[in-house]
Amino acid sequence: MAALSPLVPAAPALHAASERAYKHRLAFDVWINDVRNESMPLENWPYGEMDEKTVEGIVRALDVQSQAGYTAIDLAGLLSTYSWPVDIRSVAGKVRVGHVNRIIRAAHERDIKVLCLPAGVMSWGFDEIIAHDPAVRTDNKHLMNPLREESWEWQRKVFDFMIDNFDIDGIHLESADQGRPKTRECLERWPNDVAYHAYVTGRTADYLRKKKPGLQVHAILQGFSQWGRDFTEEEKKILVELSRSVDCMFDQGHGGTYIPESGRRDFIRRLACDYGTSGGLWVYPPQRWERSRWFLPYTIRTGTHIQRLFEDGGRGVLYYQGPVINPGTEVNIAFGGCLMKDPDKSVEETLAEVLEQLYKPRNPAARRTILEVFQKAENVYFDQWDMERIRVARKRGGPGELHLTSLFGASPNASDYLMEPYLTTEGRFAYKQGLISIYRRIAGAQGAFQDGGRIERIKKGIEAVIVDLNNIAISRNETRVWDDRNVNRRF
């Protein structure tokens, strides 16, 4: 693997945070190997092993996050990816505990707080406990019953273990990963799903704040409702009450935020806590793919969302991360942090500043080239989208979260993002034309940068995407897309 150059070796942050900076500038590493710089081609998602490559990927991402101005990282799976053991303490051996402590120290050395998701709220991570203790069972084998105090005792044991044994700064609360119990007694107590999730989240948050004053507690609304449906007035009142127990409420937006932009400002004003999203659009890193085999910046789109959110009163962004060896991902990460520090700065100016630091262009022409390459690489893909076609095919809004390929599998999967509903035949043709143009331009200017190998990785990624486009086209007999034989043309 090529050596990774730091964003700015031994340098301070790109620029200081403005007075109007976002308060919660969270780097959402999600699962511990999502920022790993080496692929896991034969492993099903999420890959939960923690080794030196895991730690290296997280620390390398911390370098970028620190200099871009993130205030915290948020991680799932530090100790357990699937299920906590009944005795709790045997969840991790000495080696893994050492790795976790190294990650926490590395973050704190960079003035970044560490938040984590030890387990869900009544859900995710309790399977072994549920199988062991009949008292906590409900109609779903992955959920504990919040009407049983035994369930709360098990949850406290897990959260206490994390807080008491590791120097963490906050907890990510997510209750809806596996849905909610649908037993008669639970439905009678909480006929409304929002009321159920707000109750279990709020009760957990109150316990955590009492246990460790100063601990950051963030509530994730993912799964509280259905995409495309605003919360009712009754549900909004429930969320306002929940806001008294947490520091920030994140309406992530996988399929579009639950609170529509048209009513967002008024809703935020009612909250006792801060409100945030995940930046409007993000690419979830494909675990089984070689880490430089896609090149998809999205700074224009997420930048526009971040600025509008701030003007509406939003003060948090749970910004998705990825492997920083991928040059598009690295720029997306650095750009997000920098814009959150100064949301009044233009999207183009912020992107230009990040590219200046990363690619070190030798002259003004090179500066224009690298800026235009990143802007065109974004637009030539997303301009092919027809949002109505995508909504109909997905049967929900969005996507906010774009999966380039399937999450699950035992080998690298196909490039879903290059196929319907995202790209049609004409879309694939236009995208290929654009990528060829970008490749020629960046290759022709390669000597005009001190880029630490990044341009070579851009070229490698574009090559891989063009191969994918041609393979899809050949399999569908889309001759116009793939047949370049004896054609001397410049797109």
In 245-346, alpha helices (H)? 261-270, 299-311, 327-341
Return the bridge partners of 26, or none. 72, 318
Judge if pTM exceeds 0.75.
yes
pLDDT band at 8 (very low <50, low <70, confident <90, very high): very low
In the predicted model, what is the mean pLDDT of residues 163-192?
Answer: 96
In the predicted model, what is the mean pLDDT of residues 204-214?
Answer: 97
User: Which of 241, 178, 245 has the alpha carbon at shortest distance from 218?
Assistant: 245
Name, in order, each residue with C-beta under 8 angstroms of 300's C-beta and a sequence gap of 6 or more.
347, 375, 378, 379
Q: Name the pairing type of β-strands 216-220 and 113-117.
A: unpaired
In the predicted model, what is the mean pLDDT of residues 298-323?
Answer: 98
Instruction: Supply the mean pLDDT for the chain.
Output: 94
Which pLDDT does position 177 carry in this prediction?
86
In the predicted model, what is the mean pLDDT of residues 205-210?
Answer: 98
- Integer CA distances (angstroms), 432 to 329, 390, 464, in order: 20, 20, 11
CB 254 within 8 A of CB 401: yes
Which pLDDT does position 19 carry in this prediction?
80
CB 146 within 8 A of CB 72: no
Distance CA 441, CA 435 (A): 10
4 pLDDT above the threshold of 80: no
Which pLDDT does position 491 carry in this prediction?
35
Pick the CATH number of 24-344 from 3.40.190.10, 3.40.50.300, 3.50.50.60, 3.20.20.80: 3.20.20.80
Distance CA 351, CA 320 (A): 17
Distance CA 256, CA 397 (A): 5
10 pLDDT above the threshold of 50: no
pLDDT band at 483 (very low <50, low <70, confident <90, very high): confident
Distance CA 144, CA 158 (A): 13
User: Which of 14, 10, 9 has the alpha carbon at shortest distance from 354?
Assistant: 14
SS3 83: strand
Domain spans, the chain = 24-344, 365-383+424-482
3-state secondary structure 125-151: ECHHHHHHCHHHCCCCCCECCCCCHHH
pLDDT band at 388 (very low <50, low <70, confident <90, very high): very high
More confident residue, 125 or 488: 125
49-75 pLDDT tens trace = 999 999 999 999 999 999 999 999 999
Which pLDDT does position 17 carry in this prediction?
75
Return the bridge partners of 30, or none. 75
SS3 172: strand
Tokens of 375: 């802007």
Which pLDDT does position 399 carry in this prediction?
84
- Ramachandran quadrant class, 452 (left: phi over 0; alpha: psi -120 to 50; beta: rest): left
- Ramachandran quadrant class, 254 (left: phi over 0; alpha: psi -120 to 50; beta: rest): alpha
